[in-house]
Each structure stands twice: as structure tokens, then as C-alpha cells.
Structure 1
Amino acid sequence: MSNRKACELAGVSEDTTRNPRRKGTRPDIVSTARLAHVLGLDPWYLLAPLGLTLDLLQGPTSGGATDYVAKDDDERALLDAWRDISEEDRGALRVALRNARAVSNRGAA
């Protein structure tokens, strides 16, 4: 895909991708995220080289904030499905997952 087409689909100016190379400027976060989505990339793939990380944006947390970021299409699909089901179904799924983890832990011991 050409730079022009990617920028057009993302709704950003071509200068968003040109100026970092030409002038050494940094594109804004929203434009970078839009381009990432058009290109089928995780936005963090483009934001990390700019020095932007989830930890930096969220501030210090316990447990490592990046542990709670969907890392691939399968995890994003699971999250989308989770958001679409009822609270009752979520409860049943929690029980099933706890049981599966317990069985898995017994097999590993």
C-alpha cells in the first residue's frame, strides 16, 4: 500500500509520515494509531519507537500494565466475545476457566 493511500484511509495528512523523516518531528498519537489500524498493525508497534509505551501513558502500576494488553488477534477476539456476552454467561465462563486451570495445574504437578 502506498504512503498516500494509507494516509488517505487513516484520515491523516501525508505530512504525518513525511515530517518525521524530513524534519525529525514526531507524529501525534492519534494519527499514529489510525495509521497502525489501516496497516493492520498493533498501534504499539508504531508508538514504541517514538518512546511511547503503555507503562509510560498509564503511569506506575503494580503487576505490569502490559500484562493486560491484548497481544494478538486471538486475544482481541476473546475480549470482543467477552464484551458481547451476558453477565450470567460471564459467571459460567469464569467457573469453567477456573476448573480448566485447576485441572491443568494438577497435570503439571
Structure 2
Amino acid sequence: MVRKLNINYTKFEDRHYWILQPKTGATDKVVFYVHGCAYVQNMISFQWFMVGAIISRTNATFIIPDYDLAPRWTYTKLFSFIKNLYLHVLEKNAPEKVYLLGDSAG
């Protein structure tokens, strides 16, 4: 699956996020995905598999924030980063083409 994707790790404010999109046939749909794992673990293999499966079926671009975990980051710091990145994504794309997806704590 990875060979079929363009994957970029990009900085926003003082944090990073991933941009995953198909190498060919990308649509103008953007999925802003906030992963779960109770704020104590980074994305797990199942979540990466799910993202790849959705991209292969929709040709959408995924934006995935890479946030620090508890207890280093508090909820307010996390929410501020997520909100600001989401607003940035809305500015760069047609808002009606941006979809919000989350699981568990996300």
C-alpha cells in the first residue's frame, strides 16, 4: 500500500502532520483524521491500514496531525493544535470537500 501513496511529513506551528495521498488519481476530497489511542499512544498499525484502505477506495487525501501524548501535552494544548491545523486545512481547500474523521479519543 505504501508504494501507492505519496507521504509527506510537514510542519505546522511547532508540530508536524502527515499528508497521505494516492500517487495517481487523487480527488479534491480531504479527510482530516484525528487518531485515538487515549492520548497515550501514537497511531497503531490498524489505524494506518484503515487510512490506506479508505484512500484506495476514495482517492482522498488524508491529513493526520501528529500530536504529543499525555502527560506531556494537556487537552487544551492538543485541542488548540488540532483546531488551528483544521482551520488551516479549510483555508487551503474547499470546505465542503473536507471531512472530519476520528476514532476513540480522536
Q: Which has the higher contact order (CA 8 A, sep 6+)?
A: 2
TM over 0.5: no
Higher strand share: 2
TM-score (norm 1): 0.25
TM-score (norm 2): 0.25
Larger Rg: 1
